[in-house]
Chains A and B, each alone.
Chain A
Amino acid sequence: MAFREYKIGARMFGLAFGTSMFITLYMPAVDIASVSATSIAMDRQLSFGRVGGFSYEDPFLLGWGKPITVQITKDPKTGAAIQSTRAFVYEADVPFPNGIRHPRILGTAPAAASDTKGRIGEADEASGAVFVVREVIEGGVTVPYIENVTATRGWTPSATLAKAADSQRLYVGKGKIMFVREGCWWCHTLLPEETQDWQYFGAPPMLGDFNGESPTAFGSDRKAPDLTHVGSRNSSREWMMMHFFNPRLVQPHSIMPRYDYLWGETDASGKAIDYDGWRSAYTAYANGETVYAPDVPVPAKDSEARALIDFVLNLK
């Protein structure tokens, strides 16, 4: 064995590297795994769906197999008026998020409540399900949990969608895919810093705010404003529409790229979008030759632009 004179060295290396891996992998993993999910974490994963990046159900990142977030005011089963409720509709064969598939990651108390009160164990991907986030007070502590309202109240995905008009639907899951695929997170962070961002970008997230979410897409190189709470700062769909089509329409100094290609071929009324015409009209406006900028087409319901705008407006 040519290595015999290095036996001690090899063992020392194993010890050093192994200790380092124990400290940097095992200890943090155990610590992070003990954290219970907050209601924010449940809301996030239920609205995003299973994976926000490459996955079996969506290999080309086109937004396939994602849930729809709805805001309903009528009970889908009885039709009776209810308090405005945010529900996450998983149609048949849309993969459930990680908290439903592996309730353990929600933490002990939320997992138990989701199982007994929320009956998430009865949810079946093949037939779809509708979920809401609830809270219960157990021994003076507020415990968030996921409720499978398909089991508890008989809200089926189709009946729930029937009660949600287009303006009450947010394609957040598909929008997150757009956010990842188009690389929004290369410039916009999703992580207000714990030190200096409180006043400008809002409160930083807490320890349990991410359980079940993948990828977190925090971003590292901030070349543009943090977006974690952007929906609270600016809730105008019109503004977002113009900003995505050509950011220079609303912010002349912006260096954000134009995302007009996410509009696709036609606008909301089914009319073909004339990109070349729009661009030359905009150039004329930017050069001061015309007074008004050309109108931005309204994105179609199933367009990628609509989903991305929904995702951004949903960041509250």
Chain B
Amino acid sequence: MFKYLFAKAEDIPAGSAAVYFGFSSIVWFVIGTGLGSFNAAKLAFPDFVMGSELLSFGHMRQVHVLAVILGWISMAFAMAMMYITPALGNTKLWSEKLGVWNCFLWNVGLSLGLFLLWLGVSSGREYSDLPWFIDIVVILGVLLPLGINVWMTIKTRRTQGIYTTNWFFGAATFMVIIVFTVGNSPEFFQLTGLTEAYLTWWFAHNVLGLWITPVAAAISYYVVPKVTGNPLYSHRIGHLHFWSVVVFYSTPAAHHLMSAPLPEWLKSFASVEGVLILVPAIAFVSNLLLTMTGKWRMFVENIEIKFTITGVLMAIPLNMQGGFQQTRAINWYIHGTGWIVAHAHLALLGFSTFLEAAAVYYGLQTLLRRKLYSLGLANFHFWMLLIGFTTYWVSMTIAGLIQGAGKIYEVPYIDVIIAEHPYMIARWVGGTMVFLGNCVWLYNMYKTAIAGTAIPEGRLPHELAYER
């Protein structure tokens, strides 16, 4: 990678940036889930690794969250953008060199930011914990170069139209820059009080709604038609999805502070608006599932489709929860409980991770021109992720309902802790399964890069039979 930072643009092989992003994302996924497993162990067994400030829960929790969001998920997005955007425009990435620099700055900036967070250098704001100088590195070194590459690749495309995936990529890279800049403005401009609290959650909501969710969906709009060979069921429904995300997902940020003293009109507006998340969700899920018509056997036989469709199916409970849990009628019960933690993992570890994993599997094979080393290991990865995640989600949902009951019946808090203990152990077991599955994935992709069967010119990876 380093040799390409100062190489002539024409000497950098096409797809380099995407490959670097792909492997970086897997490494960050291993780190992020490893931290998650470690933290979960501490919640089940509080004296597990004690006496060290740096290894305490309070110093590691935010590192887990941001390693997964900015390392795994966002880098997998960058990887997908760097090969899907040009492929859909029938062209090359606008600047491979900018892409390589982007990957380099991203890894350096994120490592530095997470190291500081680990030491405790934090802004004290959830999800926007990074201190402001790291925020500037993220905006200028991470998000802006990525956006420029995507926009310019779309602009220099050699097709007449712009496919659905690229609308999402182009719009989401733009919106995430706005979201990141505005969301961190309390630190830039020393905004305080409820303004700051609201902007913290405005950021947390919109980084999910205008970055993670639409980009993950956009990836599946590419992977499913490409691998199954079926055209997208409906571009009109794709339009509906796109526009309803922009309008309906960008507005209900205040529902995260439903029990805080924000203006009542804002909370009511957000709550009603929040239910409309079902519009893009239904459009997305139905569009993808109908695209699968006649190719459902690939859900079993093909690893990319298996991951993608599992992710799409998880969007159903995700949005049913998301749409209704923020209404006052339900929020009073589950606000601030493990239910929300389960929901957040359903969004990031369930829905979005499965879609990105498919993109990374597919992209690395395409770019390296190597068939996946082992289907057996990939299936092992899939089931470890799915069973591990499900264990986590079910146990945390139950824990959340216990906590909610404890809250409304005013049970002494320690009784809630005692009741939750078995679920904390289950959560740790589930998280550890995900971590172990990812270690296997990293090994599998490494072997693919060095020992996978070469894919002949003019063939696509999924057209070749698996060998192991």
Nearest 10 pairs of A and B residues by beta carbon: A183-B58, A53-B124, A193-B259, A215-B124, A210-B193, A181-B120, A195-B332, A180-B124, A54-B131, A222-B336
Does A28 count as interface, using CB distance less than 8 angstroms?
yes
Contact B251 A105 (CB under 8 A): no
Tell me the chain A residues, 119-176 only, with Cβ under 8 Å from chain B: none
A53-B125, A223-B43 known; A20+B407 contact, CB < 8 A? no
Give the contacting residue for B125; candidates A12, A186, A215, A251; CB below 8 A.
A215
> CA A5 – CA B154 in complex, angstroms?
13
Does A255 count as interface, using CB distance less than 8 angstroms?
yes
Contact A53 B263 (CB under 8 A): no
Tell me the chain B residues, 413-455 only, with Cβ under 8 Å from chain A: 413-414, 417-418, 421, 424
- Give the size range of B's interface with the partner: 35 or more
> CA A191 – CA B197 in complex, angstroms?
11
Does A21 count as interface, using CB distance less than 8 angstroms?
yes
Give the contacting residue for B196; candidates A19, A183, A215, A224; CB below 8 A.
A215
A23-B251, A182-B59, A212-B192 known; A31+B266 contact, CB < 8 A? yes
26 sampled A-B residue pairs with Cβ under 8 A: A12-B243, A17-B175, A20-B251, A24-B251, A29-B195, A32-B194, A32-B195, A32-B262, A54-B124, A54-B132, A185-B124, A186-B57, A193-B259, A193-B407, A200-B410, A206-B261, A210-B192, A213-B193, A214-B192, A214-B193, A215-B186, A219-B336, A220-B256, A223-B43, A255-B417, A262-B53
Contact B263 A28 (CB under 8 A): yes
Most chain B CB inside 10 Å of its own CB: which residue of A19, A28, A52, A195: A28
Tell me the chain A residues, 34-64 only, with Cβ under 8 Å from chain B: 35, 41, 45, 51-54, 59-61
User: Which chain A residues border B43 with CB–CB below 8 Å?
Assistant: 223, 255
As a 0/1 sequence over residues 239 to 261 of chain B, the CB contacts with chain A under 8 angstroms (1 = contact) are 00001001100110110110111
User: Which chain A residues border B243 with CB–CB below 8 Å?
Assistant: 12, 16
> CA A257 – CA B39 in complex, angstroms?
11
> CA A235 – CA B193 in complex, angstroms?
27
User: Which chain B residues border A231 with CB–CB below 8 Å?
Assistant: none
Rounded to whole Å, the gap between the CB of A143 and the closest CB of chain B is 18
Contact B124 A221 (CB under 8 A): no
> CA A223 – CA B396 in complex, angstroms?
12
Contact A16 B197 (CB under 8 A): no
B interface SS class:
helix
> CA A256 – CA B120 in complex, angstroms?
18
Contact A16 B192 (CB under 8 A): no
Q: Which residues of B contact A (CB under 8 A)?
A: 42-44, 46-47, 50-53, 56-59, 61-62, 119-126, 131-132, 155-157, 160-162, 171, 175, 178, 182, 186-187, 190-198, 200, 202, 243, 246-247, 250-251, 253-254, 256-257, 259-263, 265-266, 269, 332, 335-338, 340-341, 403, 407-408, 410, 413-414, 417-418, 421, 424
Tell me the chain A residues, 54-88 only, with Cβ under 8 Å from chain B: 54, 59-61
Contact A20 B202 (CB under 8 A): no
Contact A183 B417 (CB under 8 A): no
Give the contacting residue for A207; candidates B190, B250, B261, B410; CB below 8 A.
B261
Tell me the chain A residues, 243-266 only, with Cβ under 8 Å from chain B: 247-248, 251, 253-262
Rounded to whole Å, the gap between the CB of A44 and the closest CB of chain B is 9
A20-B251, A257-B56 known; A196+B192 contact, CB < 8 A? no
